[in-house]
Amino acid sequence: MSENNNTNPILVILSVLLPIVGYVLFFTKKDNDTDAAKTYLWSAVAGSIIGIMLFSL
| DSSP-assigned letters across all residues of 8-50 | -HHHHHHHHHSHHHHHHHHHHHTTT-HHHHHHHHHHHHHHHHH
What is the pTM assigned to this prediction? 0.86
CA 27 to chain centre: 11
Q: What confidence tens digit (pLDDT) does each residue in 1-54 have?
A: 455 678 999 999 999 999 999 999 999 999 999 999 999 999 999 999 999 999
Can you give the pLDDT at residue 18?
97
Amino acid at the residue 7: T
With vertex at residue 9, the alpha carbon angle to CA 21 and CA 1, rounded to the nearest 5 degrees, is 105
Q: CB under 8 Å to 7, separation ≥6 — which residues?
A: 1, 35, 36, 39, 40
